[in-house]
Structure 1
Amino acid sequence: MTVSQEKDRVLIFDTTLRDGEQSPGASMTLEEKIQVAELLDEMGVDIIEAGFPAASNGDFEAVSEIAKRVKRATVAGLARAASRDIDRAGEAVKHAERGRIHTFISTSPLHMKYKLQMEPETVYEKIIESVSRARSLVDDVEWSPEDGTRTDHDFLCRCVEAAINAGATTINIPDTVGYMVPEEYQALFAMVKERVPNSDKAVFSVHCHDDLGLAVANSLAGVAGGARQIECTINGLGERAGNAALEEIVMAIRTRGDRLSYETSINPQYLMRASKLVSAVSAFPVQYNKAIVGKNAFAHESGIHQDGMLKNAETYEIMRPEDVGVKSTSLVMGKHSGRHAFREKLVELGYELGENALEDAFRRFKDLADKKKHIFDEDIDALVEDEVSAASEVVKVIALTVIAGTGGPQKAIITLDMDGHHVTKEESGDGPVDATFNAIKALMPHEATLSLYQVHAVTEGTDAQADVSVRLEEDGKMVTGRSADTDTMVASARAYVSALNKLVTRREKSAPHAVGV
């Protein structure tokens, strides 16, 4: 690798197991932490901050065990500027192939006065003392001025110079409270690197929180200002509004290489897998519209978008889903979908409809989509099968009104299309289904016996379509009608009429001159 290429390499420091786990409710077991660490190592993370060893025996054990198992990545343990913390971190990472102690102390006027209750000179001395102690235990020491972005610039430069002189090999200037805007953060790094005389002896790092939604933008701006390490977490997990999301940083660099002339060691095909694992072990769901790894990141429902995607994926996708470990683009069927996408979905499901049948099916699909939030493949199966069945029927359900409840007799008013004429009938019954079937029987008299009435949900949820099957038996022969609708009573009426239509067809075949049912 050439010197220029080396300068363009950006190290990925993952702190999911430390800063990410500090999210309220996101605690992980030892086994879960090991599982995440091994995946991070496999995907190419350069530094894994495995925990805060002095915080608890559990954290110490996790860092120690991860240090023993990780093969490629550097394993870091966090420590405050206190001898006990630093010694504990050194003990935890001593078995790592590459161990790092990451020590920190607050440097902003606000933090020094109210949090530490220490004078700046005392803080300055603590920096030299803590970094020197850490360097006596490991060769790789990172130092961070907590709330560094709100620190006086003169004092910040003085502290950075002292930390490097004491042995720090990485200097992280964190935007602890997510206060920065990109131009400001970039200028901060440029200023520190220019003013600190020994800045060339350390790698500079960014660590951004997302309180204003700028963590990823700020991280990339810091790199533009001279930083060559980015601290981030899977899914942006972290305290308050979270940290910069690793997957967004990696794919921004990869996708916009024309403007971001850097590279990372991350294999992006692990990103979705890592996202799902961290979501599962932390019990923090990933929002549907989350960049890169959200459920909708490669999903399209708008008819205009779907049409473009079917013609050329680059019309609406700036990266390939398989590049981040997603199997394929998803054309989500919903009320915004167009004919092109609907036709493609039918082909995918194995249906080939003529233009008229396609138009009828598409119309019913749109009607269904207005009633249901989510349209599943099973919904479309039921819809098309219902359409194909209805196409050959002589009698069709036009309208149905049902009056039901505990306060009186149940009634049904149904309108049927019979040979092009609309006829309506009202009947009562023992329940809404019985009333509906009685009204249909009054319009289509028959002696068939109802041997089966069955309802099941096509998909899950309260807005699921009801798939109704009706079986009628006459003279030892049986016919079955089936229909699906989000309204169970409408599906029941259509299924019953469908079965009766089949009885009519069967009678006409066996007795050509018979009239009626």
Structure 2
Amino acid sequence: MTTYSPDSSADSFSSVRAITTPSGPRREGQPSWNTQRNSAMPVSRYRSFAAEVENISLPDRTWPDKVATVAPGWCAVDLRDGNQALIDPMSPERKRRMFDLLVRMGYKEIEVGFPSASQTDFDFVREIIEQGAIPDDVTIQVLTQCRPELIERTFEACNGAPRVIVHFYNSTSILQRRVVFRADREAVKKIATDGAKLCVEEAKKYPGTLWRFEYSPESYTGTELEYAVEVCNAVAEIVQP
């Protein structure tokens, strides 16, 4: 039996079909931070799903009748979340080839790693920044827990990047509050708000980068709905999206 090694080929991501990087105009009304371009795909050839199904008129409902008519902002997470799911994680060389491919495919937001938790990820983020591999209109995304030393390490890794999304998180579920943190709701919310404040402070140290923030209450499905909303609103007040 022949065992295939992804690193054995000259270019694991080469294809006989050329990649056409989206280069169409930006959508009218698109926010300034969203640099995504229209695709070259012939979308006019296809009917929408809404046009294919029977129209059911139920005037008392609201959101089910709404139709998505434009593409969302795509963020590729192959290099962090996807890589984490692999039995054999990608080598730095494969990650670099994958990053370059995602740029060629037109992704404008690319999650590149967890630099505060992995020296390999830290080095990879520094490599693509120092070697000028990140186009000015591409935003890299990094993940960090709401711990001061990890947040500071994350900003250190991203120094010099044109655009960065710092995705910070902490656990908020009932079980983790009780077993892991042994803390009440206010104390766990403070972990989130302290993390948000530090992110804002750290961003001021690197004025050459356009910073954006994303927050997640980890284990959201095990968290009381009203409490999850309370924590997210408290964070939003600090980062002021």
How far apart are residue 84 of structure 1 and its match? Answer: 1.1
How far apart are residue 88 of structure 1 and its match? Answer: 1.1
1:74-223 → structure 2 map (5 Å cutoff): 74-138=139-203, 139-167=211-239, 169=241
Q: Tell me the amino acid that sits aligned with residue 118 of structure 2.
A: S
Matched with 1:49 is: 111
TM-score for both structures, normalised by structure 1? 0.31
| Deviations 1:274-309 (CA, angstroms, capped at 9, x unpaired) | xxxxxxxxxxxxxxxxxxxxxxxxxxxxxxxxxxxx
Give, in whole Å, the separation in 1 of the partners of 2:188 and 2:96: 35
Q: Tell me the amino acid that sits aligned with residue 215 of structure 2.
A: W
RMSD value, Cα: 2.3
The unaligned stretches of length 5 or more in structure 1 are: 170-517
User: Are 1:60 and 2:132 an aligned pair?
Assistant: no
**How many pairs align?**
169
How far apart are residue 9 of structure 1 and its match? Answer: 4.5
Give, in whole Å, the separation in 2 of the partners of 1:12 and 1:165: 26
TM-score for both structures, normalised by structure 2? 0.64
| Deviations 1:149-176 (CA, angstroms, capped at 9, x unpaired) | 332111011111111111064xxxxxxx
Seen in structure 2, the aligned counterparts of structure 1 residues 116 and 3 have a Cα distance that, compared at 3 Å, is same
User: Are 1:35 and 2:97 an aligned pair?
Assistant: yes
How far apart are residue 102 of structure 1 and its match? Answer: 1.0
| Deviations 1:298-350 (CA, angstroms, capped at 9, x unpaired) | xxxxxxxxxxxxxxxxxxxxxxxxxxxxxxxxxxxxxxxxxxxxxxxxxxxxx
How far apart are residue 70 of structure 1 and its match? Answer: 1.6
1:368-447 → structure 2 map (5 Å cutoff): none
Give, in whole Å, the separation in 2 of the partners of 1:102 and 1:4: 22
Give, in whole Å, the separation in 1 of the partners of 2:115 and 2:76: 16
Seen in structure 2, the aligned counterparts of structure 1 residues 106 and 26 have a Cα distance that, compared at 3 Å, is same
The unaligned stretches of length 5 or more in structure 2 are: 1-26, 35-67, 204-210
Give, in whole Å, the separation in 2 of the partners of 1:48 and 1:26: 21
How far apart are residue 105 of structure 1 and its match? Answer: 0.5
Greater length-normalized contact order (CA 8 Å, ≥ 6 residues apart): 2
Q: Percent identity?
A: 27
Moved over 6 A (4+): 4-7
Matched with 1:313 is: none
1:317-356 → structure 2 map (5 Å cutoff): none
Give, in whole Å, the separation in 2 of the partners of 1:128 and 1:11: 26
Give, in whole Å, the separation in 2 of the partners of 1:75 and 1:92: 12
How far apart are residue 118 of structure 1 and its match? Answer: 3.1
User: Are 1:70 and 2:142 an aligned pair?
Assistant: no
User: Are 1:2 and 2:2 an aligned pair?
Assistant: no
Higher gyration radius (CA): 1
Matched with 1:435 is: none
How far apart are residue 90 of structure 1 and its match? Answer: 0.7
Give, in whole Å, the separation in 2 of the partners of 1:16 and 1:116: 31
Give, in whole Å, the separation in 2 of the partners of 1:58 and 1:136: 26
How far apart are residue 46 of structure 1 and its match? Answer: 2.6
How far apart are residue 137 of structure 1 and its match? Answer: 2.7
